[in-house]
Structure 1
Amino acid sequence: MTSFISHTTVDCANAYELSEWWKPVLGYTDVPGDPNLPGHEECMIVDPAGVRPRLLFIEVPDEKTVKNRIHLDLRPVEGTRDEELDRLLAHGATVVADHRGKYGPGTGWVVLADPAGNEFCILRSEAEVEATS
């Protein structure tokens, strides 16, 4: 017998605001027939195609104080890592650490934080990886 990941949960101070921030980052929507609304303490967002993992945002009283023990690694669906980085920065993400070129030209990733301070990484697109293999 085995298990599967139902969803990833993100603790936060405002579930609605953070779920709204993440929807355009991932191209996700609210659960059909169950919209997230201001004041909801739990907000789930889903991939409209139902292929990618769901994210659940839950309000907790604790503030984030240390590095995440688990985080999301994102790859651009289209375009390059750097184009996606520009889009995410314009959307309100902040750079935590820049590891581009860490393993040679055209390699690496950038660690970002969402408005609640949760870290996530932006990696090179699959096309970029294949072009340097």
Structure 2
Amino acid sequence: MTVFISHLTIDCHDAYALSTWWRQTLGFRDIPGDPNEPGHEECMIEHPESGQRLLFIEVPDEELPAKRIHLDVRPLERSRDDEVEWLIGRGAGFVADRRGIHGSGSGWVTLADPEGNQFCVLRSHSESGSAN
């Protein structure tokens, strides 16, 4: 196994409102130490026992994209950049480079599987210094 699903990402217009609705509906919670607040453009919630996570991201477009849900994957054995190269070598298509979005290189690369379903490749835990 080379990657695992870090979380499921849902594009939306109001990340806080939608994450609050799903948090209450599913019995999830905000990430400890990182509460969601009104106006946040990215809001993550998790199941308190399994750790399953949902990330809500605001999309500025008036119309939301047709494919509003996608996987974010995190490499287990390689760096993000090496994983991207490996996936492209296996037939994934390049969609967008968002590695510089946060200014620290902590962003992601968006790829598409052979049928066009998009997914994002995040940095590995060793690269990000995070266990999430």
Q: Could you tell me the TM-score, scaled by structure 1's length? A: 0.48
Which structure has more relative contact order (CA 8 Å, sep 6+)? It is 2
